[in-house]
Structures are given as structure tokens and as C-alpha cells.
């Protein structure tokens, strides 16, 4: 649609109605780009992105203005996208993976807010989601993210190291599976060593680790290591490091984090529920069962401080749960359909 057509629909009759499309193109192969991502690029008058990503959509670029940019010009890119959109153009900003995961979506909104933009503005913004590196890398190595996980970027270009180190420490202590983005570059080589040091304080040295380089690209490489040997791997700007939790296993060349079914079901003998467990209900050690246990322990003389230590939870939290003992009747709660 051209700006003329759009102008009649605009609440502000005078402003040309441009658009900024933040397009996540997935890990880097055409097959893993969404239909909407390709369509959005086809709709654009101007396409902005790194050379590598622009090459992937070369077939869609005929007749378009193409701006090939380098690495450190994100704010410039957002500013020029806004300028072009203000003239009524549709601008596609291409990010690898998902534009909202360590991508252009954040800086673009920051620039827009700074310029006084609001969602009612004539310039409209659409974010087109794509498979992020963690999705792509996980798919290649097995099923490492099937339980709670988080992403941490080791880049200290815009984030102070103590912030990064605290997050690494907290994630390691809380037993999250972790995807490390931007793990290492030519100049940033020590960050990954520090990350390993923080993790080793909380996790076994033989915790499975996968280093995936250039997922779904020509130079794709997968290296399985342990936490102890992680730093011997060839790690670079195009690598993502996946660190398993305390239950993650490496079997037949596959990194798998159990979902938790073995806590509830007998995986060998026909898959029936274990004694004391019920399909569709919280575990016996789920919230209600746990509360009942904490109350019973407290009634039999275990102090709140001991309970806090036993369950590795804040004392305030234990005190609050003890002060509010009535658990909902489990039988009345509708069955979960997880």
C-alpha cells in the first residue's frame, strides 16, 4: 500500500503514514524465516541490515533502497528509519533471530520515545517475531530448554560487568539452563572464563555444555563439552553457549533436560502415576503438598529459620506462608491441562 492510500485512514490527515517493520529473520537460513518476515521485507520501500542478512533476502530486494550497515550503528539506523517513515516510507529493519532479543526493537523504541513518538503517531511500528539463536541452537543439540531457562549476554559494551556477573551467579545458583549470547569476541575473551568460574561454584564440573556456532548457516559447528572444559572450545561472535542444569544429560550425542515426567510417572512400566501422585494435579511436593509439609514440620517443632535453610528460601517467605495456612481444596480446583 502506498502512502497516498494510507493517508486517508490516518487520524492525522496531514502526516504521511510510514511504517517501521522490525523483522526477525531467524538464525540465518531462508528455510527458517517466517512467511510474515519475507512478506514484510517484500512490502518495504527501504531495507536496512547487516550485509550477511541482506544477502539472505536478495531475491526480494529488486527496486528497493537497500542500506547495508555495520555493527555499531544501531541508533543511527533507528534514527534514519524514523526519518524515512516520517516521509511515508515503509522501512524494514532486519535483525537475525528475533528483533526483540538483543536486537533492534529496543533501541528503535528508545529513539522513537526520545522523538516524542506515541502509538497514535502516523508512523506505525510492527515487530515480526523470528526464531532466536537459543531456539535454533537448542533444536540442533536436542532438547536442552525443556525446563526453566534464561538468556544472558556476556557483552559488556553497554552493560557493566558486575551486573552481568550477578545475573550469571543468580542463574547458576537457581539452576536455570542458560543460553549465553555474545560469549566471546576478538577483544572480549575473558568474560567466558569468568562466567565458567561463577558457574563452577554452583554446578558440577561435568554439567553438559553445548557450543553452537553459526546455527543453520554454512559454517555450522556443534561442540559438546562439560562445564570444566568449556573454555577449551572454539568460541566466537557467532556462537551461543548452552549450559545445562543439574538434571541435563548428554545421551547419544543429544543434550536433553528432563521436563519432570519422571517425578510423577513411571517411565518404564506403562507410564502409570507413581504412588501418591495424580495425573493433571500438582505434584505431592507442589505448592499445596509442600505447604502441608511445612505446616506439619513447623507444628512438630522445626523452626521457621530451619525451614528457610532446608528449602533455601527467604525467612520472610516462610513466615508469610506459615501465617496464611489455608491451602485451597485441591479437589475443587479444575484439572490442569499442561
Q: Which three cell numbers stand for residue 299?
A: 507444628
Residue written as grid cell 523452626: 303
Is residue 188 close enough to count as binding ligand SAH by CB under 6 A? no
When asked if residue 54 is in the footprint of ligand SAH (CB under 6 A), the reply is no
Q: Which is nearer to ligand SAH, 122 or 136 (CB)?
A: 136
Binding to ligand SAH (CB under 6 A) within 261-320 occurs at: none
Handedness of CA 82, 84, 87, 92 (dihedral sign): negative
Choice from 80, 90, 108, 132 touching ligand SAH (CB under 6 A): 132
Say whether residue 28 binds ligand SAH (CB under 6 A): yes
**Cα 135 from Cα 29, distance rounded (Å):** 14
Instruction: Tally the C-alpha atoms within 13 A of residue 219's C-alpha that lie toward its C-beta.
Output: 8
Stretch of 52-60, 192-200, 234-242, 272-280 lying at the interface with ligand SAH (CB under 6 A): 234-242
Contact status: 141 vs ligand SAH (CB under 6 A): no
CB of 184 to ligand SAH, least distance (A): 8
Least distance from C-beta 30 to ligand SAH, angstroms? 13
Q: In what order do the strands lie in the sheet with 19-24?
A: 65-69, 46-50, 90-95, 19-24, 124-128
At residue 249's C-alpha, the angle toward residues 189 and 288, to 5°, is 110
- From 64-72, 128-136, 249-257, 265-273, span contacting ligand SAH (CB under 6 A): 128-136
Which one, of 103, 101, 100, lies nearest residue 127 by Cα?
A: 100
Q: How far apart are CA 50 and CA 97, in angstroms?
A: 13
> What is the number of the residue whose Cβ is closest to ligand SAH?
97
How many Cα atoms within 13 Å fall on the side-chain side of residue 270?
A: 3
Q: How far apart are CA 222 and CA 135, in angstroms?
A: 14
Binding segment (CB under 6 A) for ligand SAH, from list 200-208, 238-246, 247-255, 328-336: 238-246
Among 95, 191, 257, 321, binds ligand SAH (CB under 6 A): 95
- Give 190 or 274: the residue with its C-beta nearer to ligand SAH: 190
Residue at grid coordinates 502516523: 122
Size of the site for ligand SAH (CB under 6 A): 24
Q: How far is the CB of 104 from ligand SAH (least distance, A)?
A: 8
Q: How far is the CB of 182 from ligand SAH (least distance, A)?
A: 4
Phi and psi, residue 114, nearest 5°: -60, -35
In which element (H, E) is residue 146 found? none
- Minimal distance in Å, beta carbon 81 to ligand SAH? 17
Q: Residue 78 CB: number of other CB atoms within 10 A? A: 26
Contacts of ligand SAH in 198-217 (CB under 6 A): 212, 214-217
Kindly state whether residue 237 participates in binding ligand SAH, applying the rule CB under 6 A: yes
Please give the grid coordinates belonging to residue 149: 531457562
Based on the shown chain and the rule CB under 6 A, indicate whether residue 49 belongs to the binding site for ligand SAH: no
Nearer to ligand SAH, 237 or 319 (CB): 237
- Name which of 32 and 264 has its Cβ closer to ligand SAH: 32
Of the two residues 150 and 327, which places its CB atom closer to ligand SAH in the complex? 150
Residues 6+ apart with CB under 8 A from 177: 144, 145, 147, 148, 149, 150, 242, 243, 244, 245, 248, 257
> Which residue from 168, 238, 243, 256 is in contact with ligand SAH, where contact means CB under 6 A?
238
Provide the binding-site residues for ligand SAH, judged by CB under 6 A. Answer: 27-28, 95-98, 101-103, 132-133, 136-137, 181-182, 212, 214-217, 237-240
Amino acid at each position: 500500500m502506498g502512502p497516498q492510500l494510507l493517508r486517508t485512514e490516518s487520524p492525522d490527515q496531514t502526516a504521511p503514514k510510514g511504517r517501521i517493520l522490525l523483522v526477525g529473520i531467524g538464525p540465518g537460513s531462508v528455510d527458517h524465516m517466517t512467511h510474515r518476515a519475507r512478506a514484510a521485507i517484500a512490502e518495504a520501500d527501504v531495507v536496512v541490515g547487516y550485509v550477511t542478512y541482506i544477502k539472505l533476502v536478495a531475491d526480494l530486494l529488486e527496486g528497493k533502497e537497500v542500506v547495508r550497515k555495520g555493527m555499531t550503528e544501531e541508533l543511527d539506523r533507528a534514527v534514519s528509519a524514523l526519518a524515512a517513515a516520517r516521509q511515508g516510507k515503509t522501512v524494514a529493519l532486519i535483525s537475525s533471530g528475533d528483533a526483540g532479543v538483543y536486537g533492534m526493537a529496543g533501541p528503535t523504541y528508545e529513539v522513537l520515545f526520545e522523538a516524542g513518538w506515541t502509538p497514535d503517531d502516523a508512523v506505525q511500528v510492527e515487530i515480526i517475531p523470528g526464531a532466536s539463536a537459543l531456539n535454533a541452537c537448542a533444536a540442533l543439540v536436542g532438547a536442552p530448554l525443556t525446563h526453566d531457562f534464561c538468556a544472558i549476554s556476556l557483552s559488556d559494551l553497554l552493560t557493566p560487568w558486575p551486573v552481568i556477573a550477578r545475573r550469571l551467579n543468580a542463574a547458576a545458583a537457581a539452576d536455570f539452563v542458560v543460553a549465553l549470547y555474545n560469549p566471546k569476541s576478538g577483544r572480549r575473551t575473558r568474560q567466558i572464563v569468568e562466567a565458567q568460574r561463577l558457574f563452577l561454584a554452583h554446578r558440577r564440573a561435568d554439567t553438559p555444555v553445548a557450543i553452537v556456532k553459526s546455527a543453520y548457516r554454512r559454517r555450522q559447528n556443534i561442540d559438546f563439552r562439560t562445564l570444566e572444559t568449556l573454555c577449551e572450545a572454539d568460541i566466537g561472535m557467532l556462537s551461543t553457549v548452552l549450559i545445562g542444569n543439574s538434571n541435563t544429560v548428554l545421551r547419544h550425542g543429544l543434550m536433553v533436560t528432563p521436563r519432570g515426567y519422571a517425578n510423577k510417572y513411571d517411565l518404564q512400566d506403562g507410564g502409570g502415576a507413581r504412588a501418591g501422585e495424580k495425573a493433571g494435579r500438582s505434584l505431592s511436593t507442589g505448592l499445596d503438598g509442600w505447604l502441608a509439609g511445612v505446616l506439619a514440620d513447623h507444628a512438630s517443632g522445626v523452626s521457621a529459620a530451619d525451614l528457610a535453610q532446608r528449602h533455601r528460601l527467604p525467612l520472610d517467605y516462610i513466615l508469610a506462608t506459615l501465617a496464611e495456612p489455608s491451602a485451597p481444596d485441591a479437589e475443587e480446583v479444575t484439572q490442569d491441562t499442561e
